[in-house]
Homo-oligomer: A and B are copies of this chain.
Amino acid sequence: MDQIDQRILRELQADARLSHQELSERVGLSPSPCARRVRRLETEGYITGYGAIVDETRLGFGFNVFVSVKLEQQVDRRLVEFEREARTCPEIVECWLMTGSFDYLLRIAVADLNEYEHFLTGKLTKIPGVASIESSIPIRRVKHQQQRIR
């Protein structure tokens, strides 16, 4: 992991479809050592994948809600069950198991408040073991990197 690897990561985080040729120019290398480094970063697990970034609003799920969930009992069976539901549920974009006064923090992506109500009453409250739910609604996304950038 030297300077050049870090620049490669930075460039590919900003634009994953860069050709090796273009990338090599930006990091000051010729195409083949550049391609070799990219491959190494992939096989060694620094780069885990490449994704297209889509406009969520245009696709009809630009309304986000943060939800704090408390379970009745933190027994293993309940956690496993909740997490299985969370993983299969498309509205739940993020799910974190938390320390502290509640058990899970979720980020929900839906079209609007109306659709959120449907999700809440139709899905979330029906997951077994859910004791309480607290919704926090953002006004605006100030900053949203997918991940930290070096």
Contact = CB atoms under 8 A, between A and B. Distances in A.
Interface stretch (A29-37, A86-94, A120-128): A86-94
A24 interface: no
Contacts of A93: 143-145, 147-148
Interface residues of A, number: 56
A15 B49 contact: yes
Contacts of A50: 15-17, 50-53
Identical chains bound together, number: 2
A75 interface: no
A83 B141 CA distance: 10
Contacts of A105: 66, 136, 138
A18 to B, nearest CB: 9
Contact of A98 (B9, B139, B150): B139
Interface in A18-72: 45-56, 58-59, 61, 64, 66
Contact of A136 (B86, B98, B137, B141): B98
A66 B68 CA distance: 12
A69 B82 CA distance: 29
9 contacts: A13-B54, A48-B53, A49-B53, A50-B50, A50-B52, A64-B96, A90-B148, A93-B143, A100-B136
Q: Which 9 pairs from chain A and chain B are nearest by CB? A: A12-B52, A16-B50, A95-B142, A96-B138, A109-B148, A95-B143, A49-B53, A17-B50, A97-B140
